A and B are shown apart, each in its own frame.
Chain A
Amino acid sequence: MSIPAIESIYLPTLAWISKVETMTATEKFYTVELPRGQSLGHKPGQFVQISLNGIGEAPISISSSPSRSNGKFEMCVRKVGDVTTALHNLGEGAQIGVRGPYGRGFPVEQFEGRDILVAAGGLSLAPVRSVINQIFDHRKKYDRFIILYGAKNPGELLFKEEREEWKKRSDVEFLETVDKGTPEWTGNVGVITTLFPKITVNPRNTVAITEGPPIMYRFVLMELLGKGIPEDQIWVSLERRMKCGVGKCGHCQLDHFYCCQHGPSFNYAEIKGVMEAL
């Protein structure tokens, strides 16, 4: 009797941090290089498990779009737990483990021909950026493009250079706001929902993608539904505890859905009755 050789699905691929940028007091932005010849092959909205031997694993959203991820990918990491704290202490050239990509991303091909409305709050601009840049890189395939972005204060706004570029572009309507301003801040002040009266949408032709802290969803969804966007044209991404990433360990369950399998990107029509979802 012989036992066939098998691979562990929990074994990470070894990769390298090729670039680290400090974004805010709590967020760092990493470019991760995969071994030669390997590509992540992800969809916008998917995530990876980042692994540090001896510390553990943490689920991290992929911030780069598939269109800009050849042999590498980007991620924005907030320092909150053991793994992310250890990650913040690593510099360029450090080795990390990667598993994935996992989960269901946003089906951007299905959105072709539509107006796209993105509403992101706080750190969630990082994962949503994977969709934003994918759309920019195939801009002709989509109709209008609106991005709404809100953060607690100007110091927490992410991706400064890219936001400056979006403000200059004529093919995107970009609005940003902060909950609380500073003396230097000259832009909008107020929560993200205060941006909605400033935009007009063609609801039947609009696909909305929203992602933010748990508290944000209820209010943004009310705005989106209030504009008449059909439920099945609204997409959200949900954050849950994830250990395995492959629908086994049970931590990410929201009612009968496994967030790591059925999500993290969900269609609102699918989850509106799911009590543990929103």
Chain B
Amino acid sequence: MSLKIINKSDLMPFVANMMGEYEVIGPVANDIGFKFATLTDASQVRLNYNTTVIPPRKTLLPTQETLFSFQKDMLAPTFDMKWRVLLGVHTCDLHAMCMLDEAFARGQPDTHYMKRRATTTIVSMECLDTCDENSFCKSMNTLTATSGFDLHLIQLGDFYAVDVGTTAGEALLANHAKSHEATRAEIALLDKTMSQKWSKFPVRLHLDGKDLPALMGVSYKSPLWEEVGKRCFGCGSCNIVCPTCYCFDVRDEVSMDGKSGERYRIWDSCQLDEFARIGSGENFRKTHAHRLRHRFMRKGKYIAEAFPGHQGCVGCGRCARACLVDITPVGVWNSLRQDHA
């Protein structure tokens, strides 16, 4: 829409102002790195974070979410009623959330997700350097974004360029930040920075992300699945840290007196043994190999084909960091690529 500038010294006041009206969720430091958390003080935010263990999708699809509560015969739907700003989202995660928007809106829209999405304003953040040796956003074409955000921040020395993506973003900026129209010199610095950033990101995947569906299409019967399946513990960490995973289980919980309770959904993992098991005991994905293949098929093929314009993997590298036995998307896909070279 338009390009605005916020001076670096005006950023903290911007965050503090938003906190007056919204729940502001942003990257903060913790014992093992960074996490997305509700800010209680503007100074907590760490916009120069490299990555978080859990992706910001938890704001739109919480780890556990009440769907409705019940008391005897009365059912009452439960909806989250907060207005939020999700601040400092990297573009890999932004691409992932755009995919989730499509997945939850498709067919019968998921009213709980849609409600959270409608009340969340996203302020994303451009990465100007690679976060670590596991990310491969360049191959997945997610190391920048030109849409999907309400506001997008690009740090340029002592100021931030702000790409205004929506009217909601425009209003957020107008109401809470001190900003000005970008000058020619500022635009020139932005363009130069953006041109120079690409060479700082290594190419780790030996094919372009757009070619993954085709590769996965010929890899269904690869012996690789048995090989990596032997190493896999089936712990499901890869699912939990994945920004594009959205499978969930639905469960009930009852109060101690048995008179009331709630039905909730909770993140689930296709790597767990019981994920595809039915009541009679039949399990449709019996082995680690079958479950890993399913996960990689979803990431590389099924999602991209079901939601054109979106990808099932955004190259954030979180699953590679989380895996206890070093099963990585770069490793798996490069190996399959080599088999079909």
Q: Which residues of B contact A199 (CB under 8 A)?
A: none
Q: Inside 8 A of A95's CB, which chain B residues have their CB?
A: 73
Cβ B73 vs Cβ A249 within 8 A: no
A214 touches B (CB below 8 Å): yes
Q: What is the interface residue range for chain A against chain B?
A: 35 or more
Chain A positions 203 through 238: 1 when the CB is less than 8 Å from some CB of chain B, otherwise 0: 000000000011000000000000000000000000
Q: With a 10 A CB-CB cut-off, give which of A8, A12, A249 has the most chain B CB atoms.
A: A8
Query: Is A98 interfacial (CB-CB < 8 Å)?
Result: no
Q: Is the interface of A mostly helix, strand, loop or mixed?
A: loop
Q: Are A53 and B252 in contact (CB under 8 A)?
A: yes
Q: Is A3 an interface residue (CB 8 A)?
A: yes
Residues of the B chain whose Cβ atoms lie less than 8 Å from the Cβ of A81: 279
A248 & B104 in contact (Cβ 8 Å cutoff): yes
Residue of B nearest to A257 (CB): B302
Q: Which chain B positions have C-beta within 8 A of A214?
A: 282
Which chain A residues in 14-73 approach chain B with CB under 8 Å? 14, 51, 53-58
- Residue A256 at the chain B interface, CB threshold 8 Å: yes
Q: B246 to A54, Cβ gap below 8 A?
A: no
A14 contact from B75, B107, B280, B282, Cβ within 8 A: B75
**With a CB–CB cut-off of 8 A, which chain B residues contact A248?**
103-104, 110, 246, 248
CB-nearest residue of chain A to B104? A248
Q: Which residues of A contact B249 (CB under 8 A)?
A: 243, 249, 251
> Given the known A-B contacts A3-B115, A8-B112, A10-B263, are A243 and B70 also in contact in the complex, defined by CB atoms under 8 Å?
no
Q: Mark A240-278, 1 if CB is under 8 A from B, else 0.
A: 110110111111011110000100000000000001100
Query: What's the nearest-Cβ distance from chain A to residue B263, in Å?
Result: 7
Shortest distance between the CB of A257 and any CB in chain B (Å): 9
Instruction: Report the bound CA distance from A39 to B14 in whole Å.
Output: 54
B338 at the interface (CB under 8 A from A): no
Least CB separation from A97: chain B residue: B75
> CB < 8 Å: which of A1, A54, A249 contacts B70?
A54
Chain A residues near B114: list those with CB within 8 A. Answer: 6
Q: Which of B184-192, B193-201, B269-277, B314-322 contacts A (4 or more CB under 8 A)?
A: B269-277
State which residues 72-95 of A face B: CB under 8 Å.
78, 80-81, 84, 95
Given contacts A55-B252, A244-B250, A248-B246, contact A80 B75 (CB under 8 A): no
Interface string of B212-246 (1 = CB under 8 A from A): 00000000100000000000000000000000001
A256:B79 contact, CB within 8 angstroms = no
Number of interchain pairs (Cβ within 8 Å): 128
B residues contacting the other copy or chain, number (CB 8 A): 55
Q: Is B167 an interface residue (CB 8 A)?
A: no
B 243-261 to A, binary, CB cutoff 8 A, 1 in contact else 0: 0001111111110001001
User: Across the two chains, which residue of chain A brings its CB closest to B112?
Assistant: A8
The one of B115, B247, B294 in contact with A249, judged by C-beta atoms closer than 8 angstroms, is B247
Q: How far is the CA of A130 from the CA of B94 in the complex (A)?
A: 45
**Which 4 residue pairs spanning A and B have beta carbons closest together?**
A250-B247, A8-B77, A80-B279, A54-B254
A selection of 30 A-B contacts at a CB cut-off of 8 Å is A6-B114, A8-B68, A9-B109, A9-B110, A10-B77, A10-B250, A10-B263, A11-B67, A51-B263, A53-B252, A53-B263, A54-B258, A57-B263, A80-B279, A80-B280, A95-B73, A239-B282, A240-B284, A241-B276, A243-B248, A247-B107, A248-B103, A248-B110, A248-B246, A248-B248, A249-B265, A250-B268, A251-B268, A254-B284, A276-B284
Q: Beyond A11-B67, A251-B268, A253-B276: 13 further Cβ-contacts under 8 Å?
A: A6-B111, A10-B112, A10-B250, A11-B68, A54-B258, A56-B250, A56-B252, A240-B284, A243-B249, A248-B103, A250-B270, A251-B249, A276-B285
